[in-house]
Structure 1
Amino acid sequence: MTLPAKRAKRRQKLRLDDMASEIIAIEAALSGISQSQFAGNWVLRSAVERGIERISEASRHVDPAVLAAHPDVPWRQVADIGNWLRHAYDNVDPDQVWRVVMADFGPLKAAIAAMLAALPE
């Protein structure tokens, strides 16, 4: 494997690791927290939103061919949610953020784990 190819593989792994770490951190932060507690806690909401922004940004740097192996994940929406959180910050609905975490993180986490496992050594 050439040096540029090794670097590209390393960058893929780092981005995927970043995404997985953010998901784990958000899940830990929300453990035992109700939707209403989340909605009423500005610090927690801000932390979760920032974690989602990081997931979004990292997803933009993963090779599209790697993402294409998991068409069940709406990658365009994963990438776009960061823009929504940054640019429409005054319209972010905590209930919508909660739904994203609760409904979408499971399949996303599984896809990231599979992508990491498929990376060549």
Structure 2
Amino acid sequence: MDRARIADRLAHILESIAHLERVATGRRMQDLDTDADFDAMVERYIERISEASRHVPDTLKAGHPEIDWRGIAAVGNVLRHAYDRIEAKRVWQMVTVDLPPLKMAISAMRKTLREDKSG
């Protein structure tokens, strides 16, 4: 995959994280069970992150072993095919615990891509 497409995928992930941060502000885990629109938004952004992560090269991912890349890729399938079995607790953990380190890793990857291009 060329550098521009990789950069686009990383940008999509960061955009989805930003949307999740915005829609989750002031919310609680219970809102996933009581507000279907909120739940759908959160799950859709997680699906987008999952799908985009599949297109990030392993060479970039290797620089961030603290991220569960397989888990991120797998959660999209769970949301698409076993949506009735995913618990609000797990979704909320993704939003509140898993996304901040992912955001840092993706930002670092973008920086690496830019530096490699200019160097």
Match of 2:13 among 9, 19, 29: 19
Kept in 1, the 8 Å contact 2:31–2:39? The answer is: no
**Equivalent residue letter for 1:85:** L
* Whole-angstrom distance in 1 between the partners of 2:33 and 2:89: 7
Give the Cα–Cα distance (whole angstroms) in 1 for the partners of residues 100 and 106 of structure 2: 10
* 1:58-102, Cα deviation, whole Å (9 max, x unpaired): 000111111111011010101000001111011121221011111
The CA deviation at 1:39 is: 2.7
Q: % of aligned pairs identical? A: 40
Letter in 1 for 2:23: A
Partner of 1:37: 31
Question: Does 1:72 find its partner at 2:44?
Answer: no
> What is the root-mean-square deviation of aligned Cα atoms in Å?
1.1
- Structure 2 gap segments, 5+ residues each: none
Check whether the contact 1:39–1:45 (CA below 8 A) recurs between aligned residues.
Answer: yes
The one-letter amino acid paired with 2:102 is: L
Alignment partner of 1:35: what SS?
coil
How far is the alpha carbon of 1:118 from its aligned partner? 0.7
Tell me the distance in 1 between the aligned counterparts of 2:10 and 2:2: 12
Gaps of 5+ in 1: 1-6
The C-alpha deviation readout for 1:12-71, integer Å capped at 9, x for no partner, is: 100000000000001100111122233311111111101001100000011111111101
1:76-95 to structure 2, matched below 5 A, reads 76-95=70-89
Matched, 1:111 2:102: no
In the alignment of these two chains, the number of paired residues is: 115
